[in-house]
Each structure stands twice: as structure tokens, then as C-alpha cells.
Amino acid sequence: MLKFFLPDEYVKSIYEIDVDKLIKRGIKGIVTDLDNTLIEWDRADATPELSEWLKRLEDKGLLVTIISNNNQKRVEHFAQPLKLPFIFNARKPMTRAFKRAIKEMGIKREQTVVIGDQIFTDVFGGNRLGLHTIMVVPVASTDGFWTRFNRKMEQIILSKMRKKGMIYWEEKNE
């Protein structure tokens, strides 16, 4: 049961993801969360650093789709200036938005990676489909109400994983 909540990789930020390694693995598309993964949940627009990172992905031929549980106004305001496809009200960890993103990118599941900051939405949703999952440290130390609740539950799951010796990344990334 716990394995469904365990990401394949764990990094401190999206900028630490080894994109060339993903490409060598055959990854062609990235399904990414928005809030506290790409930018703070209360920041409206992309930072220059994020815009540059997304441009590097595009230059390397990687497709990117944002899937967010947030509302249309929030996600659209962020994604449109960057010309990124997006799915709002995704209802993660339900798999429908993940499947839709993969279909719209025109790639296969094994060519897809999921990036997110939450175990119960991003990692669990991606793992349910057998996708490669990368968990990042949230970019903000604050969260909205429901996310704060999820974070408390995440701590329980992470504690169980630690006790079972399932977590290896803390030693590498601390």
C-alpha cells in the first residue's frame, strides 16, 4: 500500500531534475503540478527563472502540460502567457486528468513523468497509472487550507516509510 505513495525520485526543486537523464530514459512529456511545484501557490505569474527552465525543456523537445486541482482562472492566468496546455479542476489523484494530458501530448505512459509537491495528489495519481513520479520540496512554506491538511497526513505516511526503510532520499538531499 505504501509503495503507491512513494515517488520514483525526490529533488529539492524542479531545477535539480536531470532533464538529460529523463530524455535518455525515453521521456517525451512532463505532467506537472502548478502550485508549490512550479511557483508559490499565491504567486500569479512565472518567475524569470521558471520561464527560462520551461524554455530549456521546450528546446530539448519535451512537452509540458500543467494539471492542477485549482480553478480555471488561476491556472489559465498562469499558463496562457507561457503558451502551456493545462487542465484545471483535475481532481488529482483521480487518473482522468493524467490520462487526458498524456493523450493530448500524443505520447505513451512510459514516455511520461509526473512532477509535483504532494504525495496524495501528484505522486499517488501518477503512481496509480505506473508513471515515473518526481516529488519536489514545496517552493513555499505556506499552503492553502486543504493542502495544510494533506501535509499533516503526508507526515504520517512519510514516517511509516522511514520506519520501513523505504525512504532513501533524505540522506542524499539533506
Secondary structure element (H or E) that encloses residue 32, with its range: strand 29-32
Q: How far is CA 14 from the centre of its chain?
A: 9
pLDDT band at 161 (very low <50, low <70, confident <90, very high): confident
Count structural domains, the chain. Answer: 1
Is residue 72 helix, strand or coil? helix
Is residue 92 helix, strand or coil? coil
**What's the CA gap between 93 and 116, in Å, rounded?**
11
pLDDT band at 41 (very low <50, low <70, confident <90, very high): confident
Predicted pLDDT of residue 10: 92
Short-list 104, 17, 32, 99, CA closest to 70: 32
Which pLDDT tens digit goes with each residue over 118-131? 999 999 999 999 99
What domain range is 40 assigned to?
A: 2-173
In the numeric block, which cell numbers belong to residue 25?
Answer: 530514459
- Any idea what the CATH number is for the domain that residue 68 is in? 3.40.50.1000
Which pLDDT tens digit goes with each residue over 52-105? 999 999 999 999 999 999 999 999 999 999 999 999 999 999 999 999 999 999
In the numeric block, which cell numbers belong to residue 8?
Answer: 520514483
Q: Which residue has the cell 500543467?
A: 66
**What's the CA gap between 129 and 67, in Å, rounded?**
15
